[in-house]
């Protein structure tokens, strides 16, 4: 049966960053795999969501169902798409669902928001709002951590993947939540993460 999936990358990245996950999904049997490049730092999430929702709807009309895999800020984009177009299953990799303390620290080191109206990190600050998931989509979340309070970045509070804290990735509506020993930047290329993602897309859970 033909299947379609859309991959949404993170901040300051392009669709190319999702290629390792794309290859894994193609091997698992996906017929249509889209990896669009979205300028998170140039466009507001609602505007990008409106545009991508049209793409998701077209895929849904053609294939009957559309899945999504996201990395980091791409998870916030998927949340904004869900009320606008039907997604079947979504795996979020290291999503800052509650904002990210790392964004606050980055602003302190490089306060570009004080020099101009351009503030690409505003949407990622702790407490920043994002559309809550709506509709029938089943959500699974995989994030990185060391399994202890130190995490990969000692400047962040609690376990973390060097950029997103484990607690920042959680979402009450998620069916599955898992922490793997991998850093934020490389989570989509991790073999175990790829296997868990494929299994969730097929069965709605990460493991048998």
pLDDT at 116 (0 to 100): 56
Please, what are the averages of pLDDT over each run of 10 residues along the chain (208 residues)?
Answer: 90 92 96 91 84 96 96 93 95 91 58 54 64 82 95 94 94 95 97 98 95
pLDDT at 42 (0 to 100): 74
pLDDT at 159 (0 to 100): 97
Distance of CA 21 to the CA centre of its chain: 12
Give the distance between the most distant pair of CA atoms in the chain: 53
Burial of 55 (0-12, 13-18, 19+ CB in 10 A): middle
pLDDT at 180 (0 to 100): 98
Q: Name the H helices within the chain.
A: 19-28, 45-63, 73-81, 101-109, 166-169, 191-203
Cross-strand bridge partners of residue 142: 93, 178
Among 204, 181, 176, which Cα is nearest to 192's?
181
153 contacts 160 by C-beta, under 8 angstroms: yes
11 contacts 37 by C-beta, under 8 angstroms: no
Measured CA distances, 160 to 31, 107, 127, 138 (Å) = 34, 19, 17, 24
pTM of the predicted model over 0.75: yes
Cross-strand bridge partners of residue 32: 4
pLDDT at 39 (0 to 100): 81
| CB-based contacts of 159, cutoff 8 Å, min separation 6 | 145, 146, 147, 148, 149, 150, 151, 165, 166, 179
| CB-based contacts of 74, cutoff 8 Å, min separation 6 | 7, 8, 9, 10, 38, 92, 95
Task: Please tell me the distance from the alpha carbon of residue 203 to that of residue 11, in angstroms, as a whole number.
Answer: 29
């Amino acid at each position: 049966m033909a299947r379609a999936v859309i991959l949404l990358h993170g901040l300051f990245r392009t669709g190319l960053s999702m290629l390792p996950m794309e290859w894994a999904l193609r091997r698992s049997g996906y017929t249509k795999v889209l990896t669009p490049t979205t300028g998170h730092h140039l466009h507001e999430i609602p505007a990008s969501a409106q545009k991508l929702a049209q793409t998701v709807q077209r895929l849904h009309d053609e294939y009957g169902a559309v899945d999504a895999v996201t990395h980091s800020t791409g998870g916030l984009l998927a949340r904004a798409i869900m009320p606008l177009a039907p997604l079947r299953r979504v795996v979020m990799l290291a999503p800052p669902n509650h904002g990210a303390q790392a964004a606050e620290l980055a602003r302190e080191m490089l306060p570009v928001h004080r020099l101009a109206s351009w503030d690409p990190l505003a949407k990622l600050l702790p407490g920043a709002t994002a559309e809550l998931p709506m509709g029938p989509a089943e959500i699974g979340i995989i994030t990185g951590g060391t399994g202890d309070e130190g995490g990969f970045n000692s400047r962040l509070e609690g376990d973390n993947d060097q950029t997103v804290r484990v607690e920042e990735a959680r979402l009450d509506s998620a069916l599955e939540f898992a922490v793997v020993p991998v850093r934020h930047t490389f989570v989509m290329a991790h073999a175990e993460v790829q296997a868990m993602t494929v299994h969730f897309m097929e069965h709605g859970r990460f493991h048998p």
